[in-house]
Structure 1
Amino acid sequence: MFVGALVALAPRPAAAQDDITIGVSWSNFQEERWKRDESAMREAIEAAGAEYISTDAQSQSAKQLTDVENLIARGADALIILPWDAAAVIPAVQSARNQGIPVVGYDRLIEHPEAFYISYDNREVGRQQARAILKVQPTGNYVFIKGAPTDPNADILHKGQMDVLGERIESGDIKVVGEQYTDGWAPSVAQENMEQILTRTTNEVDAVVASNDGTAGGAISALAAQGMAGAVPVSGQDADHAALNRIARGTQTITVFKDARKLGRQAAEVAIELAQGAELPDIPNTRTWDNGPRGVPMTARLLEPVPITRDNLNVVLEADWIDRATLCRGVETDAVEVCR
């Protein structure tokens, strides 16, 4: 919940494009992908003649609040925020809005009616993960390794997963033998959680629906220790290089490609438009979206994700997301067409 009532203030006077400063608050750089997002975002901001300034919250909610105030003090005309804790950051968002500074919630939902939300369609990501696992394992004991409890996207992803798997669970075809959030989306936490589930079930696990590639990697490490890696399908998302290599080697079933370069560029463009005085409804290719935990209506742009399995690894090669040597490291070339 954000503190205080919404304060309707006139926005700052629109700035000329070459006088604009865009402040970006990053939650951390733990995941491989955030450096890609940042590179594309910074390039787009600077190509437009604006200035890029940024901070790294280093996985600390209190630091992120201070970081946002610091970006405002340094003259940010608009903010892009990747929240560490989506609820804890709301007072900083409200402070920015009280000062007439527009805010773009980046990739992770910040459920505030005056923040623009840009991400990939996370519910569809969850559906794509579940469909791929269900295709290869239609029955049996399932484990859900969810994202961080402080990130609303974790629950949005799980809703998508349940859109596909819910009926099978209700019918008894699928039995949920483990379901665990992952603090900070940390692979080490995911591995520990998976180890505990394997111990509790005496390794009676047939499928793992992990919510991103980091948690997938942790789960696969736990499976590998029991000689089960490759025998149990595992999902992920983000198309991390390590995950794509795991797909080629057969230990991960699916990742979901959400081109971070595209998302970073579009977030930069939206922030610049808002800094120039555009209102939220003026931004093209948006929709009203209210599927967050509190049902707050948001102005959102949701990009379409692409599921990646062994059958279409050519997609990430053709997109120059990964090179063939990295993708195919350790792969028996006869096993994967793109590695031949």
Structure 2
Amino acid sequence: MRKLIWVAALALMALTSAALAEGKKIGVAWGDLAQPRWRWDVTAMRSIIERSGNKYIPVDAGGSAAKQLQDIEKMIVDGVDAIVIQAVDKDVIMTAVERAAERGIPMLAYDRLIEHPGVFYITFDNVGVGRIIAAIVKQAQPTGNYAIIKGDPGDPNSDFLRKGMEEVIGASVAGGQIRIVGEEYADGWRPDAAKAIMERILAENGNQVDAVLAENDNMAGAAIEALQAAGLTVPIGGQDGDPAALNRVAQGMQTVSVWKNSFDLARQAGRIAVQLAEGTPMSLIPEARQFTGGEKGIPVWSILLNPTPITADTLDVVIDADHVTKKDVCRNALPSVAACR
């Protein structure tokens, strides 16, 4: 009898050890990996999740909110232990978010807010990003006609960024020193949509545009194409630290790109996803704070990282961090750019 009990105990220990060795299953619902912005995030997040013995299960919605809804529902059925969501449209996927919460599956909203108490939120301080873009462009062009190209209307970050911009330019707009001659959302943060917006603003204002606030680098690049076609070079800002944008900064074509260290964001997200999968309450995640800045004011546990402005004077920051190579950044750079000498 004792032998049978001992054998059974050994079998149970083996099963337990095998389960532990397999780790947790962490689903990652990416919104659209065709956008260059996310290439660094994927590598860093996967590394963190798998390095700790867990399973990284990614899926790409290809920019379709309807597909992402199905992706999340399938993850629920497959029994993942946690879900990371880089939302295409928070409202479209909400039914799946609620279903996951009912099943007790913890979720992490990656870079894009999902207002639900069962979802942890990690991003950079996007209000701060908007503030930086506007402040540096305003320093270069304190007065005149401004165009504002916002991101997707379904992404809360678009309005967070705009809020930060307003904090900087609001008083000058009210005082008449700055006139906003055009302001539109670009569906899907798409460059082609941004270029069309810029072309429309230029046409409606007889090319009288003195500065542009774009909410990401891809859209800033598209706006620059439209401006160049009109024979204009004006102060323009964006964000993401895309290599092409950093090269435009070095060439004097773009005034600022606000760099959000994607490696740091993805690494922290990977660690948090593992902690949530292991059962750590959101309130006990290190450095977590309550965030209530969404349109509904629903409190969610969150971590907001600090962004870094990159101008012609600070390009050495991204080069020294190995975010980009000096060769890529400095192609056709202005002689005055110290980092490229």
What TM-score does the superposition give when structure 1 sets the normalisation length?
A: 0.93
Aligned-pair CA distance for 1:75? 3.0
Residues 147, 181 of structure 1: 8 Å contact kept: yes
What is aligned with 1:263? Answer: 265
What is aligned with 1:321? Answer: 323
SS in structure 2 of the partner of residue 293 of structure 1: coil
CA distance in 2, matches of 1:73, 1:240: 36
Q: 1:96 aligns with which of 100, 113, 134?
A: 100
For 2:192, the aligned partner's letter is S
Q: How does 1:164-183 map to 2 (within 5 A)?
A: 164-183=168-187
Describe the superposition over 1:298-323 as per-residue Cα deviations: whole angstroms up to 9, x where unpaired. 11100000111001000000100000
Aligned residues, how many? 323
Describe the superposition over 1:86-131 as per-residue Cα deviations: whole angstroms up to 9, x where unpaired. 2111111111111110000000111112210000000000000011
SS in structure 1 of the partner of residue 237 of structure 2: coil
What is aligned with 1:308? Answer: 310
CA distance in 1, matches of 2:196, 2:21: 49
What is aligned with 2:237? Answer: 235
Whether 1:137 aligns to 2:141 is: yes
What is aligned with 1:339? Answer: 340
SS in structure 2 of the partner of residue 83 of structure 1: coil
Aligned-pair CA distance for 1:69? 1.5
Whether 1:67 aligns to 2:71 is: yes
CA distance in 1, matches of 2:309, 2:296: 28
Describe the superposition over 1:210-238 as per-residue Cα deviations: whole angstroms up to 9, x where unpaired. 0000111111110011121xx30111000
SS in structure 1 of the partner of residue 120 of structure 2: strand
What is aligned with 1:9? Answer: none
Fraction of identical pairs, as percent = 47
What is aligned with 1:46? Answer: 50
Residues 17, 272 of structure 1: 8 Å contact kept: no
For 1:335, the aligned partner's letter is S
What is aligned with 1:161? Answer: 165
Pick the structure with greater CA Rg.
2
CA distance in 2, matches of 1:60, 1:161: 29
Structure 2: tracts of 5 or more residues without a match: 1-18
CA root-mean-square deviation:
1.1
SS in structure 1 of the partner of residue 236 of structure 2: coil
For 1:167, the aligned partner's letter is A
What is aligned with 2:202? Answer: 198
What TM-score does the superposition give when structure 2 sets the normalisation length?
A: 0.93
Aligned-pair CA distance for 1:18? 4.2
SS in structure 2 of the partner of residue 310 of structure 1: coil
For 2:258, the aligned partner's letter is V
Residues 16, 276 of structure 1: 8 Å contact kept: no
CA distance in 2, matches of 1:241, 1:293: 32
Q: 2:114 aligns with which of 107, 110, 114?
A: 110
Structure 1: tracts of 5 or more residues without a match: 1-14
SS in structure 2 of the partner of residue 236 of structure 1: strand
Per residue, is there more helix in 1 or in 2?
Answer: 2
